[in-house]
């Protein structure tokens, strides 16, 4: 075994375990680094960080890899969590996984790997990188059901050049089988879901520890009060569950959906029906654009986009305006949510993305001329 060192971000999950396994089998010089990104004070129950660290250590021991651990909790708090709270206070629904990838996994971790002597890093993300004519491309993972390029759109040329995604070519069942055959303790471990620092805990209870809940009215678009809520921050556009307003005598049996939020008046706006027009939009405004090529594509580009993870690709046109961009969709989109990301593709390549600021839905904040 010789050559430059590659540092694997071992999370204690099966995907990063198999990433390390595959690199080891290639005869590479491999080490593992476990990142602790959250300090839990125990108020809401124990987090799984200690168990995950132990699983990561066991995997590295089984593969005879050097094991490192670093605490990035301070960086995570300052660069990810404070933004998360600010977005919720403003009534938006943020995506902390995107920011965590940009600020922690592909900046802080990459810097730390370099300090430990590694030339490159690897993670268990389901994505791929290739290079042609000196330009690196971020590609979708082969497993469409697990593709994570949506969360990686902020990676630029420097990050892509220094990163490998060993499991990006594989379907998830094969990843688990490889781990089982190698006797890795993570082979049957449940995939992590939800926001990393919340884990299996109740989201409302967690958020209330940092942002005091402010109750208010639930109203229809016509202004008719139909209930009360404990805080608009707890709801997202298109949400159906947990509204507590079903079975009203003055309404039919169709389900209710969140269609808007008014933070100033603490009003949560809801409407009935799966096909109500209050959630539909054909255009959005986005800011904080990031392009994997390092430069923006041509104005008027025709491509596809996703406004949420695992959404089917939607055909659109990009129009650059000032520091932001407008995205015009060929067909109306459902429940496009400010604070989330819109991510752009041409075929299998992820071009980049931006943060959704407003839409032309009735409560989307984007005027007909905006």
What is 28-44 written as a DSSP string? -EEEEEEEE-----STT
Nearest C-alpha neighbor of 39 from the set 51, 47, 31: 47
Count of CB atoms within 10 A of residue 7's CB?
27
60 in active site: no
**Strand residues in the chain grouped as ranges (E):** 5-9, 29-36, 67-71, 118-122, 127-132, 135-140, 163-164, 216-219, 225-229, 256-262, 267-272, 280-291, 302-306, 314-321, 324-334, 341-346, 349-359
Residue carrying structure tokens 């042609």? 132
Rounded distance between C-alpha atoms, residue 147 and residue 264, angstroms: 38
Residues 6+ apart with CB under 8 A from 119: 4, 5, 6, 162
Q: Among residues 47, 60, 100, 350, which one is catalytic?
A: 100
Show the DSSP H helices in the chain as ranges: 14-25, 49-62, 73-76, 82-89, 96-100, 109-115, 157-161, 172-181, 203-208
Nearest C-alpha neighbor of 282 from the set 344, 326, 229, 243: 326
DSSP conformation class of 52 = H
Rounded distance between C-alpha atoms, residue 10 and residue 18, angstroms: 10
100 in active site: yes
Q: Which two structure tokens, joined as six digits, stand for 352?
A: 């980049």
CA distances, 3 to each of 27, 60, 220, 246 (Å): 9, 19, 64, 64
Q: Among residues 60, 196, 316, 350, which one is catalytic?
A: 196
Rounded distance between C-alpha atoms, residue 300 and residue 305, angstroms: 14
Count of CB atoms within 10 A of residue 116's CB?
14
Instruction: Check: CB of residue 327 under 8 Å from CB of residue 317.
Output: yes
Nearest C-alpha neighbor of 141 from the set 129, 153, 158: 129
Residues tagged active-site:
100, 196
């Amino acid at each position: 075994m010789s050559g430059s060192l590659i540092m694997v971000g071992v999370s204690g999950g099966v995907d990063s375990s198999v990433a390390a396994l595959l690199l080891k089998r290639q005869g590479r010089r491999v080490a593992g680094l476990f990142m602790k990104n959250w300090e839990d004070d125990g108020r809401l129950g124990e987090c799984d960080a200690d168990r995950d660290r132990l699983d990561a250590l066991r995997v590295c021991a089984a593969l005879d890899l050097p094991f490192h651990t670093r605490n990035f909790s301070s960086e995570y708090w300052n660069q990810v969590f404070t933004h998360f709270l600010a977005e919720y206070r403003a009534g938006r629904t943020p995506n902390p996984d995107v920011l965590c990838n940009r600020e922690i996994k592909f900046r802080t971790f990459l810097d730390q790997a370099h300090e430990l002597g590694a030339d490159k890093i690897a993670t268990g993300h389901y994505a791929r990188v290739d290079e042609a004519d000196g330009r690196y491309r971020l590609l979708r993972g082969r497993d469409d059901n697990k593709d994570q390029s949506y969360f990686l759109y902020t990676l630029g040329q420097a990050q892509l050049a220094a990163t490998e995604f060993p499991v990006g070519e594989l379907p998830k069942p094969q990843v688990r089988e490889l781990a089982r055959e190698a006797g890795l303790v993570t082979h049957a471990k449940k995939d992590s879901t939800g926001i990393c620092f919340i884990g299996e805990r109740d989201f409302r209870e967690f958020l209330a520890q940092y942002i005091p809940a402010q109750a208010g009215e639930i109203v229809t678009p016509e202004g008719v009060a139909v209930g009360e809520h404990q805080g608009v921050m707890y709801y997202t556009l298109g949400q159906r569950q947990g509204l507590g307003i079903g079975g009203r005598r003055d309404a039919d049996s169709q389900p209710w959906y969140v269609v808007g939020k008014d933070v100033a008046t603490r009003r949560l706006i809801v409407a009935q029906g799966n096909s109500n027009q209050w959630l539909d939009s054909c255009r959005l405004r986005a800011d904080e654009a990031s392009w994997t090529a390092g430069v923006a594509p041509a104005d008027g580009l025709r491509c596809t986009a996703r406004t949420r993870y695992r959404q089917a690709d939607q055909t659109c046109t990009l129009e650059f305006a000032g520091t932001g961009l407008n995205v015009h969709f060929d067909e109306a989109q459902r429940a496009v949510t400010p604070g989330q990301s819109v991510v752009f593709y041409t075929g299998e390549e992820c071009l980049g993305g931006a943060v959704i600021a407003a839409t032309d839905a009735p409560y989307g904040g984007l005027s007909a001329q905006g």
